[in-house]
Chain A
């Protein structure tokens, strides 16, 4: 299991992460980001993609 943090001061609710890794990130009806704070290592590829596509580089992973 690895852990995710999102810098909420940076996050601009673009929602790109929810396209790249929908099992981990989603946008609620108000358009605000919700995410799972830990994820299975099998999802690492998807999560790395989410990090790549975030226009403000707000997503961080630590193991």
Chain B
């Protein structure tokens, strides 16, 4: 019988893993199992263009579906199918309907789901944003004049606040820290982004948290920790995420924050040793930051599924064959976000900086073009630029690569 690899999760990570398994010479079976009914599709437009103007569900899917590599043939897709349990020692997974499937190798690519705000009050009117269905439902209520409260000002919160404001909604952005996207960008750029929001009429309430939602049956307002009340009938909760790890419980893994891996993306067993037949890719994988010598962390950016699949797939194929994987490269994280038409591009690990320095422009005016360097000691570990041509972004990316001790990609 053919040997079989199961890929759990059918989004970007699952697709890239399947493609990279073929690229790594795997000729056995590949079954990709995913809970959503849609084939893998692109999520970033869900808080940007698609939230602004989705069209019909068919049009959205046509626009967003990924094209698989032509070399990725003979892949079986089981969509609309949830995995509920696994036994890694016996090498089986169990589906919702009780069917058990055996595997020779397993790729964990079940990603994240949005966290929600746990406070008293009505449930109607509250939204999260991760899937096509979420975006369609949210678009339908973002009508001109709607009062919208966005909770959390990370990338998804900021982008949906900007999109809602462009659609003519009255938007309040609620953030527990001191400014929008402050954690990934640092305080200087965060203030500039706040300015951009203010100019477009978005009210940023910072250093406050939600105490309760108000309303009878459905939301009409948000009660904040400073005692103020914000009128809002549409609530967008963008307060982080939970890793979809429940189906991995009972195997002795460290599931406290995604799935813990070594630098080859091999999942660590209870004894801390890497397993040869189980790897993880994408948002769910917590892997060491070898570039900066920092502890393992998850990297929730679009580039991560592709970067990690390139490492995990050959490691899994080697593991099944009883070989050690080749030395893995250390991917350089990168992200982008679009706020009111200004592109913000980041490379490296700005959130881990001890110090920031302005490389060009005025961080108070991100839309005019600015670049900020992020340092640990004297080492440049990241750059974020906004409103600059992509050629500048490539230049700064090279500076970060050159500064790193590990130049591997």
Which residues of A are in contact with B by a Cβ distance under 8 Å? 13-16, 18-19, 27-33, 48, 51-53, 55-57
Q: A31-B388, A57-B66, A57-B67 are in contact. Are A52 and B306 (CB under 8 A)?
A: yes
The residues of B that contact A16 with a CB separation of less than 8 Å are: 303
| Interchain CB contact under 8 A, A31 and B306 | no
Beyond A29-B389, A31-B392, 8 additional pairs, beta carbon < 8 A = A15-B390, A19-B397, A30-B389, A51-B67, A52-B69, A53-B306, A55-B42, A55-B302
Which of B19, B69, B389 has most chain A Cβ within 10 Å?
B389
In angstroms, Cα B66 to Cα A31, docked, is 25
A-B contact pairs, 20 of them (CB 8 A): A15-B390, A15-B393, A16-B303, A18-B390, A18-B394, A19-B394, A27-B394, A28-B391, A29-B391, A30-B391, A31-B390, A33-B390, A51-B69, A52-B69, A52-B306, A53-B306, A55-B336, A57-B42, A57-B66, A57-B67
Provide the bound-state CA to CA distance between A38 and B392, in Å.
26
* A14 lies within 8 A of B390 (CB): yes
B16 CB within 8 Å of chain A: yes
Contact residues in A for B388 (Cβ distance below 8 Å): 31
Cα distance A48–B67 when bound, in Å? 11
CB of B336 within 8 A of CB of A14, answer yes
Contacts A53-B306, A55-B44, A57-B67; is A15 near B391 (CB within 8 Å)? yes
If A19-B397, A48-B69, A55-B336 touch, does A27 touch B44 (CB 8 Å cutoff)?
Answer: no
Bound Cα distance A14, B69 (Å)? 20
| CB-based nearest A residue for B71 | A48
Within the assembled complex, what's the spacing in Å between the Cα atoms of A51 and B388? 23
Interface residues on B, range: 20 to 34
Least CB distance from B369 to A in Å reads 11
Closest residue of chain B to A18 (Cβ to Cβ) is: B394
Residues of A within 8 A of B394 (CB): 15, 18-19, 27
Min C-beta distance of B103 to chain A, whole Å: 25
Would B303 and A13 count as touching, CB distance under 8 A? no
Is A52's CB under 8 angstroms from B389's CB? no
Majority secondary structure of chain B interface residues (helix, strand, loop or mixed): helix
Segment 43-82 of B: residues with Cβ below 8 Å from A: 44, 66-67, 69, 71
Q: By the criterion CB–CB under 8 Å, are B66 and A27 in contact?
A: no
- Measured in the bound complex, the distance between the Cα atoms of B19 and A26 in whole Å is 26
**Shortest beta-carbon distance, B140 to chain A, in Å?**
25
Taking the closest CB of chain A, its distance from the CB of B407, in whole angstroms, is: 13
Least distance between A45 CB and chain B CB atoms (Å): 8
* Structural contact, B336 and A27, CB atoms closer than 8 A: no
Within 8 A of A (CB), among B375-394: 388-394
Q: Which residues of B contact A31 (CB under 8 A)?
A: 388-392
- Which residues does chain B contribute within 8 Å of A33, judged by CB atoms? 390
Q: How far is the CA of A30 from the CA of B393 in the complex (A)?
A: 12
Q: How far is the CA of A21 from the CA of B195 in the complex (A)?
A: 37
Question: How many Å from the CB of B213 to the closest CB on chain A?
Answer: 35
Tell me the minimal C-beta distance from B290 to chain A in angstroms. Answer: 20
A13, A15, A53, A56 interface centre (most CB from chain B within 10 Å): A15
